[in-house]
Amino acid sequence: MSEKTLQGKRIVLCVTGSIAAYKAVSLLRTLIGEGAEVSVVMTSSATQFVAPLTFEVLSGRPVLQRLFADSQPLPHLRATEEADLILVAPATANCLAKCALGLADDLLSTLFVAARCPIVMAPAMDGEMWDHPALAAHTRTLRERGIVVLEPEEGPLASGLLGKGRLPAEHVMMEAVRSRLALRRDWSGQRVLVSAGPTREPIDAVRFITNASSGKMGYAMAEAAAQRGAEVLLVSGPTALPSPPNVTRIPVLTAEEMYQELDSRFAWATVLVMTAAVGDFRPRYPSSAKAKKHEWAGEPLELERTPDILQSLSRKRTHQVLVGFAAESEDLLANGRIKLHQKNLDLLVMNRITGPQSAFGNETNEVILLPRHGTPVEVERLPKRLLADRILDTVQEHSGISAFSRSREPNEGIRRIQ
Using CB under 6 A, list all residues that contact ligand CTP. Answer: 255, 274, 276, 278, 280, 306, 308-310, 324-327, 339
| Residue among 85, 92, 76, 75 nearest 31 (CA) | 85
Q: Which residues contact 107 (CB under 8 A, 6 or more apart)?
A: 41, 43, 64, 65, 66, 67, 75, 76
Return the H-helix or E-strand segment holding 193: strand 191-196
Kindly state the smallest distance separating residue 289's Cβ from ligand CTP, in Å. 27
Closest to ligand CTP by CB, 249 or 339: 339
The DSSP result for 42-106, as a single string, is: E-TTHHHHS-HHHHHHHHTSPPB--TT-SSSSSHHHHHHHH-SEEEEEEE-HHHHHHHHHT--SS
Separation between Cα atoms, residue 377 and residue 370, nearest integer Å: 7
Closest to ligand CTP by CB, 105 or 330: 330
Kindly state the smallest distance separating residue 5's Cβ from ligand CTP, in Å. 31
Kindly state the smallest distance separating residue 312's Cβ from ligand CTP, in Å. 8
Closest to ligand CTP by CB, 12 or 348: 348
Kindly state the smallest distance separating residue 83's Cβ from ligand CTP, in Å. 40
Separation between Cα atoms, residue 225 and residue 392, nearest integer Å: 7
Cis peptide before 307 (omega within 30 of 0): no
Closest to ligand CTP by CB, 269 or 309: 309
Three-class SS state of 311: helix
Closest to ligand CTP by CB, 169 or 353: 353
Closest to ligand CTP by CB, 181 or 217: 217
Kindly state the smallest distance separating residue 353's Cβ from ligand CTP, in Å. 9
SS3 letters for 93-107? HHHHHHHHHCCCCCH
211 is catalytic: yes
Going by the DSSP 8-state scheme, the letter that residue 267 receives in this structure is T
How far, in whole angstroms, is CA 370 from its chain's centroid?
20
Q: How many CB atoms lie within 10 A of CB 393?
A: 21
Separation between Cα atoms, residue 17 and residue 48, nearest integer Å: 7
Closest to ligand CTP by CB, 80 or 275: 275
Which residue among the candidates 94, 211, 351, 365 is catalytic per the annotation? 211
Separation between Cα atoms, residue 385 and residue 148, nearest integer Å: 10
Kindly state the smallest distance separating residue 339's Cβ from ligand CTP, in Å. 6
Separation between Cα atoms, residue 12 and residue 387, nearest integer Å: 24
| Residue among 368, 279, 375, 274 nearest 322 (CA) | 274
Q: Which residues are part of the catalytic machinery?
A: 211
